[in-house]
Every structure is written in C-alpha cells, then in structure tokens.
Amino acid sequence: MLVEQKLVTEEGLDSAPRVMVHSAQKEGRELQVFYTAVPVKKANDLLRWCREQREAVLASHVMAAIWRSLDSQDALITQVDRKLVFVAKCRRQVLCASTVAFNGTQDDVFAALEVLIERASALLDTHLSTGERAALTGRWVPVLGVRDAAWSMADEAGKAQTVFERLRVRHVPACVQITRDGAHGLVSALAQLNTVSVRGADGGAIERLNWASAAYAAVWARGTCVLAVGVLMAAGVSLVRVSRLDSDAARATARAAVIEGQAASIEAVASVPTGYGELATQVGALVQAVSEMDLVRTVSDIGHASRASGVRVMGLHTVQTQGQRDGKKDGARSAARDGPTRGSAVPRGAAKEGVGSSHLRVEIECALTAQGDAGTQSLSRFVQELRLAGYRVEPDETLHRRSPTAGTWQSIAYLVDAPAKDIGDGVTEDVREP
C-alpha cells in the first residue's frame, strides 16, 4: 500500500498501479523494497488476452523470474527492451541500479550500459568489502534486446565478460540465444528463466491449474499408466490370495464336518457313570479338607481327649461354615451340610485373624456311657482337653444326629475349628466368648 501511494504521489499517476513486491529488507528505520509496478489497465488487458487464447497461457513478471533466479552472492544484469537493470544479493543486502536508453538501438543501449556500470560500481564500492565483492558471481541475462544483423553470440558473450571485468565481479556465462529478424537480431535468455517464472505467474488458481494440466499432460499420462499397472498387479495378487483363502475355507469346512461326525459317534456310546456327581462332590470336599486343615493332628487331639475323659467318639464330619471366625456373630452362621453352627474351637494364630468368610470345621459326634454327674464330668473333661489343645469348642444341639447303637447312651454333638496346616509351633490359647 505504501509503494502504491508513493508511485501515485511521485510519478503523478492517475490510479495506483499493480505492484508485486519481490523483496523487502529493513535497514535502520527505512525499508528497502524491490518491486515491479505495472499499470492496472495494462495488467488487466494482458490477463484478458491470456484467457482468450485457445491454449493455457500464464502472464509472468520478468523481474519476479529474475529475482527468483538469484542466489546469495549473486549479481545479474538484464535488459528489457530499453531498460537496463543491475541486481545483486550479498548476505542480507540487496543492491539495485537501473537506467533507460533513449531508443532501442544497439549503440544507444550500450551507451546506457556504461551509465549502469558506473552506478553499479559505486554501489558495490559503498556497500561491499573487497572480499565480498570478489565472492560475487555475475551473469548477463537479457530478456529482450535488439542487436545489429552482424552481431553474434560470441560478440554477446565478449560484451558480458567486459562488463563484469569492469565491475570486478567474476563472470559466469548464461545461456543467451540470438534470433534473426531481417536487418536486426534479437537476444534473449528468457528460456532460462521460463521454469522459474511460472511460480511468480499472474492469474488465479483456475489459470494455474489449466496451465499445469497442459504443460505436464505427458508426465501425468505416464504416471497414470504406472499407477494403473500397479493397481492391476495389486488386484491380481489380491485375487490369488482370495482364491487361496476360499480353498482353505473349503478344506476347513470339510474337516469340521468330519470332526463333528466323529464327535457324534463318540457321544452316542459315551455316558456319565451313575452317581458321578455325588462322587465328584465328595472328592472335592476331601481335597479342600486336606488342603485347609491338619486332619492328622485334629484326629489325634480328639482321640487323646476321648481317652482322657472316657467320652466315646462316634463320628467325625467336616462342615463348611460361613461368617466371622471370632464367634461374636454366631446367629448369622450356617453349616453347609445340616444347618447353622453354634460354636468353634481355634488355635491361637487362627483366633486372632478375626475374619474367615468361608472355612471348614470339624463336627464331633460323641456319646456318654455314664449317666448323671459322672457323665457330666466326663463331658466337661473332654471339652477341657480340647480347649487345652488349642481348640474353641461349642455344642451344637440344633443338628440332628443318628441314634446311638445302645439306647442307654446319650448322644451329644460339638463343632470345633480344626487348626490350619501352616501352624508350626502348636502353641494355642483359650479364646472364650464374652
């Protein structure tokens, strides 16, 4: 916006031109801008002409192409009809000088070139050191210049070499072509800038897409052919794999049918033995009892108490119980076999655990041979021996028991907690309910 306003003010233009900024470098409080300004009417007419062509045509700014062709440590002199421009890049500095010839003849252009050499040399002396100047590489890239009929490419190369020698810049020859036009010759290096100028071409996205479609049609066609061949190969490989999978599925189905037939024939002659479920339950209970309690010690302790007290043990049963093991919530317990339990006997380590939601207990079914006080003392001695051995003993009068062999015996049942198999010291303590 500032460039347009400056051009309108200083050049006295009726309207703001169309400006393309190629570079903007800040130097102190000023901004150095390298740009191309084209009148709006001329730019619109050129775009309209491009759209009217049968083939896709892009309008490209010559100075934009020249700017993109410059690298760091690079200098360039170009001619566009009567205008001569010098541009150089060195690190972050951009040096630019220009002049215009009176007409387009060769002598007049070369006279204006002398003026440009003086201006460019002054810029290089002011802004670059000797080493930086020696590192520059210079190119002569005329976009369009008129030469005499006898002018040759060797003459053009010699002129470019002379110009850069006077500027004390190393010359790199450019690809310049000469076209004969009757009494004149036209020199141009536009073909060298053609691939670069496309990126800075004017026009919308549709124009760019149309140009790319026409310019790279052959490349896209080859790419499409390669892609089509790849797709066909992938489809062939997929078809082979699908065929193999179908064959494998058919074989698997046939094999499954054979296995199902064999299983049906075996199932017809195989049957579960009678009473297998009850036997499996008993075996499971036995395995649990062996793993959770020391049955050998429990039976030994009960036998010792029986011999010491005279109480005859008629049977021992393992009972699965639920609830607390500390005996404080007896009303919520229930035996898995015959009903709720009323008490337990535990060794010292087990009594302090306090929680045992599901555990095995031993039910003692015993009988008294003596009556009256003697029977009561025998029973009390039996319970005391068990408690001294570390068990918590409680009577269970709610359980239904088998009648003793002799009708004179009195049948009594107790529940005790069997000690766990990992109790090693055998130390027990009497735990009494409050």
Q: For the segment 384-396, what is each residue's pLDDT rounded down to a tens digit?
A: 888 888 888 877 7
CA-based nearest residue to 21, from 35, 31, 38, 3: 35
Count of C-beta atoms within a 10 Å radius of residue 130: 9
Query: What's the pLDDT at 201?
Result: 65
Where on the phi/psi map is residue 339: left (φ > 0), alpha (ψ -120 to 50), or beta? left
Evaluate whether 254 touches 383 at the Cβ level (below 8 Å): no
Lowest mean pLDDT among 191-195, 221-225, 305-309, 426-430: 426-430
Contacts for 369 with CB less than 8 Å, ≥ 6 apart: 310, 312, 375, 378, 409
Contact assessment for residue 123 and residue 97, using Cβ atoms and an 8 Å cutoff: yes
Of all residues in the chain, the percent with pLDDT exceeding 90 is: 10
Instruction: Find, among 303, 328, 297, the residue nearest to 382 by Cα.
Output: 303
d(CA 250, CA 106): 88
Q: Average pLDDT, whole number, for the chain? A: 75
Count CA atoms closer than 13 A to 368's CA, side-chain side.
18
Query: Is pLDDT at 118 greater than 60 in this prediction?
Result: yes
How far is the C-alpha of 192 from the C-alpha of 255, rounded, in Å?
Answer: 73
Average pLDDT over residues 81-94: 84
The Cα angle at residue 106 between residues 102 and 112, in degrees rounded to 5: 45
pLDDT at residue 272 is higher than 70: no
Backbone angles phi, psi at 62, to 5 degrees: -65, -45
Q: Please, what's the b/e burial string for 324-354 (b: 16 or more CB within 10 A of its CB; e: otherwise)?
A: bbbbeebeebebeebebbbbbbbbbbbbeee
Q: How far from the centroid of its chain's Cα atoms is residue 53's Cα?
A: 50
* The model's pTM: 0.47
Question: Among 86-90, 193-197, 385-389, which stretch is predicted with the lowest mean pLDDT?
Answer: 193-197
Q: Report d(CA 160, CA 428) in Å as an integer.
A: 116
Give the SS3 label for residue 320. Answer: strand
Residue count of the chain: 434
The C-alpha atoms of residue 74 and residue 97 are separated, in whole angstroms, by 15
- Give the residue carrying structure tokens 């009417």: 41
Going by their DSSP bridges, the two strands 74-80 and 83-90 should be labelled as antiparallel
Query: Rounded distance, CA 129 to CA 135, Å?
Result: 10
Tell me: pLDDT of 323 over 60: no
The arithmetic mean of pLDDT across residues 312-331, rounded, is: 61
> What confidence category does residue 235 fall into, taking pLDDT thresholds of 50, 70 and 90?
very high
H helical segments located in 136-173 = 153-166
